[in-house]
Amino acid sequence: MSARPDVRLFDRTTPPHIVTLVLLAGISALSMNIFLPSLPNMTEYFGTDYRLMQLSVALYLAVNAVLQILIGPISDRYGRRPVMLGSIALFLLATLGCLLAPSVEIFLLFRMAQAIVVTGMVLSRAVVRDMVPDAQAASMIGYVTMGMALVPMLGPALGGFLDEAFGWKANFTMLFAAGAAILALAWADMGETARGGSTSLVAQFREYPELFGSRRFWGYALAAAFASGAFFAYLGGAPFVGSEVFGLSPSALGLYFALTALGYMAGNFVSGRFSVRLGVNRMILTGTLTVTAGILLSILLFLLGATHPLAFFGFMAAMGLGNGMVLPNATAGMLSVRPRLAGTASGLGGAIMIGGGAGLSALAGALLVPGRGPYPLLLIMLATSLASILATLYVLHINRIAGPIDTTPPPRARPPRA
């Protein structure tokens, strides 16, 4: 095993510390979900419709999807450090715009611009690949992922409490403060790690047709897109369900959101523990069935007259559990279809997943109106989860007629010895 590079915290002549990489990835996750419990109050503040206010999720995801394709090649050409610093600076300006926006239209424009912070998530992994060989990279990326796993769980809960104490703008004030602190940290600690590659956007786009022609790639990509699509529809519709159907306060809504994140963390643990033993395709199928079962049980309880919030939010933990099994394994499948195009497959697959999520999130917001209860959201989620099962069965069909490919996931990262 080759030695790890010399890394010193707050030294721009060495690669960034893993703590810096965790925080860079974490600010991206926090920006997506901290304000979700505030959506009903923001709707009232701007004097608009919930379906329009909910576009702050859908449009953000759409821009996020496009940026995932572009950020890698841009940083290959111009370097990780300047792209990362410039992106955080633009994120700060966009966040300030959200705070000062006089209308919902201006707010949504700046909210779309906030998606530039996804650079932190994309480049934190690229930097790891720059620093160490593949085997060590799998371990370090595991630490980055584990470190940022708490953010989706804590973000909505924290956002709900901030809203109740100080109003919805407190969430964006916190994002601005956190972004400024991380910009200072990245400036002081993030040394350049790119090795002077010359990959261009044109070169990357020329590789897309080979992936577009792969039936396995589409099977894995659609399985991931539809399974996560249920989650993104939930992001778009759950604030409305929580406030309008159950009358939850922002802080209570934030706590219920944490159940899904806990389920996702459990699913990641199951993936790390059993994917090698059971195989990627079996894990994906188990995960998609888990997502669908949770949604069906929630619908059944409502049909039987359930009125407690756990009848909805409790079973969303099963959706998180299933996604935690599907996404790591479907990603491994996508990257194994054409190993030499792994980077392109990662960007394209992520764009398909997030782009589809943006559309489903917008659809959920459009269909949810007072008086319909949670049924429109649950039916959208059920349809997408059923589609993820069909996509997985399609992959299994391809394997039967064309033979399997090696989709063995990398070993789970082990904690360092004390």
Q: In the chain, what is the straight-line distance between the N-terminal and C-terminal CA atoms, in Å? A: 20
- Domain segments of the chain as ranges: 14-199, 204-404
The verdict on domain 204-404 having CATH code 1.20.1250.20 is: yes
The predicted model scores a pTM of: 0.73
Q: Which of 28, 246, 52, 56 is nearest to 168 (CA)?
A: 56
CATH number of 14-199: 1.20.1250.20
Residue whose pair of structure tokens reads 């600690």 in the numeric block: 189
H/E stretch holding 369 reads: none
Q: Tens-of-pLDDT digits for all 418 residues of the chain?
A: 444 556 667 767 777 888 888 888 888 888 988 898 898 899 999 999 888 898 888 889 889 888 887 887 777 777 888 989 999 999 999 999 999 999 999 999 999 999 999 888 778 767 776 665 544 444 455 556 555 556 766 788 889 889 989 999 999 999 999 999 999 999 998 888 776 555 556 776 677 787 788 888 899 989 988 988 888 888 778 888 888 888 888 888 888 888 888 888 788 778 777 777 888 888 899 999 999 999 999 999 999 988 899 999 999 999 989 988 888 788 778 767 776 665 567 677 778 887 887 788 778 777 777 777 788 889 999 999 999 999 999 999 988 887 766 555 444 444 333 3
Joined together, the tokens standing for residue 104 give 């919902």
Same fold, 14-199 and 204-404: yes
| Nearest-angstrom CA–CA distance, 76 and 193 | 10
The residues, ordered by sequence, that sit 6+ positions from 118 with a Cβ below 8 Å of its Cβ are 28, 64, 67, 68, 71
